[in-house]
C-alpha cells in the first residue's frame, strides 16, 4: 500500500485524475480512492491483541479474557465458536493456524503457517489443503 501511495504521489496522479474526470466521471472519485487507500494502510495493528493491539471492545478478545485464556487457541470450543465466523470468512486457514498455535505455542507456529488472507489462497485450495483436525480434545 505504501508503495502504491508513493508512486501515485510521485506521478502527481491527482492532476491526471482531475483532467481525466472531465471525460470520465469515475476519476472524480479519486480523492475517495486516496482516502480508502490511506485507511487500508492503517489496518495493520501495531501489536497483537495480547499486547494491547486491536479493538479493546472486540467480542473475541473479551471472550478470551473472560475465560482467562491467552487466546482462542486455548479454547476447547473454538471450532464451533460463532465469534470466529467473520474471521474465518477472510482467513480461510484460521482453524489450522489456531491448531498450530495450540500445538507449537504462539512463538513457534509462524514458520509452518499457511496463507493468512483469502486473497492469498486460490479458491480451490481454501478448504482442500486444510489438514483434518481433531476437535474432540
Q: How confident is the model at residue 124 (pLDDT cuts 50, 70, 90)?
A: very low
Q: How confident is the model at residue 11 (pLDDT cuts 50, 70, 90)?
A: very high
Same domain, 77 and 122: yes
- Residue 14 lies inside a defined structural domain of this protein: yes
For the segment 82-95, the average pLDDT, to the nearest whole number, is 91
For the segment 111-121, the average pLDDT, to the nearest whole number, is 69
- Residue 112 lies inside a defined structural domain of this protein: yes
- Measured CA to CA, the distance from residue 12 to residue 127 in angstroms comes to 43
> Quick check: 130 pLDDT over 50?
no
pTM of the model: 0.60
Same domain, 77 and 118: yes
Same domain, 37 and 83: no
% of the chain residues with pLDDT over 90:
48
Same domain, 121 and 78: yes
- Residue 114 lies inside a defined structural domain of this protein: yes
Three-state DSSP at 110 gives: helix
Domain range for 81? 72-128
Q: What is the pLDDT of residue 137?
A: 32
Helix orientation angle between 2-10 and 30-41, rounded to the nearest 10 degrees: 140
> Quick check: 32 pLDDT over 80?
yes
For the segment 29-40, the average pLDDT, to the nearest whole number, is 93
How many separate domains does the chain show?
2
Same domain, 76 and 34: no
Which conformational region is residue 12 in: left (phi greater than 0), alpha (psi within -120 to 50 degrees), or beta?
left
Three-state DSSP at 81 gives: coil
- Residue 63 lies inside a defined structural domain of this protein: no
Same domain, 77 and 37: no
- Residue 60 lies inside a defined structural domain of this protein: no
Q: What is the pLDDT of residue 67?
A: 95
| Grid cell at residue 131 | 489438514
Same domain, 78 and 124: yes
Same domain, 76 and 37: no
| Grid cell at residue 40 | 487500508
Amino acid at each position: 500500500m505504501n508503495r502504491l501511495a508513493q508512486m501515485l504521489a510521485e506521478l502527481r496522479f491527482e492532476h491526471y485524475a482531475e483532467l481525466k474526470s472531465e471525460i470520465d466521471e469515475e476519476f472524480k472519485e479519486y480523492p475517495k480512492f486516496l482516502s480508502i487507500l490511506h485507511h487500508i494502510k492503517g489496518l495493520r495493528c501495531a501489536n497483537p491483541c495480547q499486547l494491547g493491539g486491536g479493538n479493546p471492545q472486540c467480542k473475541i478478545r473479551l471472550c478470551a479474557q473472560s475465560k482467562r485464556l491467552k487466546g482462542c487457541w486455548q479454547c476447547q470450543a473454538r471450532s464451533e465458536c460463532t465469534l470466529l465466523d467473520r474471521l474465518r470468512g477472510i482467513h480461510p486457514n484460521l482453524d489450522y493456524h489456531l491448531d498450530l498455535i495450540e500445538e507449537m505455542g504462539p512463538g513457534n507456529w509462524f514458520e509452518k503457517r499457511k496463507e493468512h488472507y483469502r486473497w492469498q489462497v486460490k479458491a480451490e485450495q481454501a478448504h482442500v489443503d486444510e489438514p483434518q483436525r481433531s476437535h474432540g480434545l
